Structure 1
């Protein structure tokens, strides 16, 4: 429940930020900001604070407390969310050493143990060149299994950023010859492990033969390379356009596009653009999925939503 609440709060904050960014002129007060959609009283007070002092004193104080610092440290471990991090703090944990060794008083999941073991490597963003070299090695092995496979490196790499937090690979295959990529992960993952590209498994799909599956693990470039996070996702070929949008990001761009779709009476997710979706008028919970009308290319989805085409490198927030 806590994670759901946290996710909802995060989405609300992003909607607020997007609303402020769309404002045509620089805000002069929190009172002016209150007129904007998604801006509440607390956010207006923070805006007033920024305008008057150039910083957020309350936020600076909150982020400097021991509990905030330790919680942030623990959340840097793969598989650890805010609820778990705060629980560990409440139980006396203060450092990474407190979480390891025979003296520890908590039980870590296998994934958390891996995240703790390679904490330093995983906390560091990798150069774009390293991500490309790992991707090229994986693609070569995959093409050796089936030359018709299509692999695309997603996320921040596709958006053109110079560093990447992890590697996201989208894998699919044209079906014009009556075949698909079903079963390719069953062949690919052992070969990547044997080649030394994959080093640790974090999560295996329940069905390796499913056309829509996700593998999560660690990889590295060469035997001395640093450990890096990697996800390999397989998708049905007819969903590739929607999947390219979804897994390219960034998250603010994606949410804005989904909001536009919803405003126009559609529903957009990683599988496609749907029409005829019905929702409960009170809870807004989806009652029916509707009918898919676009999914094969990114451009057809943009065109139906009447959104000007944006190259992947344009789909990122200003920094």
Structure 2
């Protein structure tokens, strides 16, 4: 049995560095799970803390910076850790455990968490727990600064005795409501009234993003709540006072800003927010570039990948997948139609029959929910009677290599030793293209054996020309002029992002629920499980921590939860209906 099978690990504050990214691959290759979403938090998880935030006495240090670098919502994650007290150790314990062949948690490895010190960053949220959105918003006017855009409004919290997991999931569900979904709710607003309400929605969405980027979660959440409240409001907003009176998440301060927007059509600070968001998005839309790196580069005045290359050349040596994100930047931001998705799946299945006829592949994500266009493709592999994910990983490796030999796979974004043998030269070619010196060590880049996921760049044969490629050029996102020397994109014959992953056959139903999505639906059904004293993960439905109730049959999981089965094609509509009723 693999060392980390059944174990969950959380990297804090993130795993963006090459060392921590490599450790996360080691965990996955040994059947462990790396937590990437607050809904996956588990009191049995092991928290792995970046050594740079641990002092000689094994205490957490540089706490303010530590919290700001979180990739997940810090108040949700940290409140969960303080409440549940999971094991917290240095991240480099992973390599130690693999050397000795067992997980040990001696006192000298434990990171000491000082509750009083580490909660200071969240006193605004914890201080008023249990109060309503309206009460929180009404307090805002006495707390805001003189700036026309410095607004704060707090989230509501449930009673302190309720499980922080339920609180976390509920908050995340209410805040993660993208502006694009407003279109789906347009029937709540008369056609002639859309412009005013839409202007307010976009304004508060931009301001929320601005303060999120600055690390001010308090103000960011205030704007998010205001935006959601306006999205759900069924009438035209004619004044700030009307919004304050009728919308629970709008207090006097935000009402003042609403009035300014209605009177002038804008608000001081909006342009700054939009410009900053555009700059950061340019970087973060590249594969393997996170918000922390983007903020750092922007702070240093770097405007392009070429600027980053001059300032931090080691980034592209260490985190080599960024080179392919840069090279296929424009391709990977283009949507693909269902016809192209079908053709890619057909190619994969045809080759899979030759690799292992007993193995099956099926599309997940937005495609199976009926989306007309998809950004990338998630393909789930399973084999009847097979619960050995190592075997499935090797099947996927053989398949990926066969597709590479046939000319369908353009690039690999993870390396096993076998893949490095055939693809290493392509990585070195991209490094040389940047005029960088290739590291002298023989095993560059590092590889991980027995991967359970494979991230690919995939290109169909040139004769397949989807209809949607007639998209006008002005709608396509382009690389900056200084960055175009690395481009391998082709608007007429684009490369696509395709991910392979697998599940145990006995867990097929639970895996389908997880990977079909959307996230809002997954949060809803997991909260339902918690409310009934159960736990739902991609591995199954459990009573308590380890009594498995069902994992193979997704319809049976719904039945055990006392809910009617909701098919993939109905899940988006179901979530939007719930949002309208809220």
Pairs within 5 Å for 1:224-303: 225-277=493-545, 290-303=546-559
Q: CA deviation at 1:99?
A: 3.8
Q: Distance in 1 between matches of 2:509 and 2:256?
A: 39
Look up the match of 1:218: 457
Q: Tell me the distance in 2 between the aligned counterparts of 1:91 and 1:143.
A: 51
Once the 2 structures are TM-superposed, how far is the Cα of residue 153 of structure 1 from its aligned partner? 0.5
Distance in 2, matches of 1:56 and 1:255, equals: 35
1:42-81 CA-to-partner distances (Å, cap 9, x unmatched) read 9x9489839984988478445323x322111111111111
Alpha-carbon distance, 1:41 to partner: 6.6
Greater helix fraction, Structure 1 or Structure 2: 2
Measure the CA separation in 2 of the matches of 1:29 and 1:237: 52
CA shift at 1:130, angstroms? 0.9
Contact 1:70 1:95 in 2 (8 A): no
Tell me, in whole angstroms, the C-alpha distance in 2 between the residues paired with 1:195 and 1:40.
58
TM-score, normalised with respect to structure 2? 0.45
Residues 1:76 and 1:24: Cα distance change in structure 2 (over 3 Å): closer
1:93 aligns with 2:302: yes
SS at match of 2:524: helix
CA shift for structure 1 position 245: 0.7
Higher gyration radius (CA): 2
Bigger CA drift: 185-194 or 80-89? 185-194
Distance 2:259 2:293 in 1: 32
With over 3 angstroms needed to count, the CA separation of the structure-2 counterparts of 1:45 and 1:143, relative to structure 1, is: farther
1:311 aligns with 2:567: yes
Asked whether the equivalents of residues 215 and 231 of structure 1 are also in contact (C-alpha less than 8 Å), the reply is yes
Deviation of 1:91 after TM superposition, in Å, equals 1.8
SS in structure 2 at match of 1:183: helix
TM-score (norm 1): 0.79
Show structure 1 runs of 5+ residues with no match: 278-289
1:80 aligns with 2:289: yes
Q: Residue in 1 aligned with 2:409?
A: 198
The residue number in structure 1 matching 2:174 is 15
SS in 2 for 1:203: coil
* Shift of residue 147, structure 1, vs aligned partner: 2.0
| Cα distance change of structure 1 residues 94 and 306 upon mapping to structure 2, 3 Å threshold | same
C-alpha distance 15-253 of structure 1, shift in aligned 2 (>3 A) = same
Give the distance between the partners of 1:117 and 1:47, measured in 2 at CA: 46
Q: Give 1:146's aligned residue.
A: 356
C-alpha RMSD of the superposition: 3.6
Gap runs ≥5 in structure 2 = 1-12, 14-68, 77-167, 178-224, 236-241, 417-447, 463-489, 578-582
Deviation string 1:146-183 (CA, Å, 9 cap, x unpaired) is: 2221211011111110111101000001118x997463
Task: Write the distance in 1 (CA, Å) between the matches of 2:74 and 2:365.
Answer: 20
Whole-Å Cα distance in 2 between the matches of residues 248 and 46 of structure 1?
39
> Does the 8 Å contact 1:78/1:112 carry over to 2?
yes
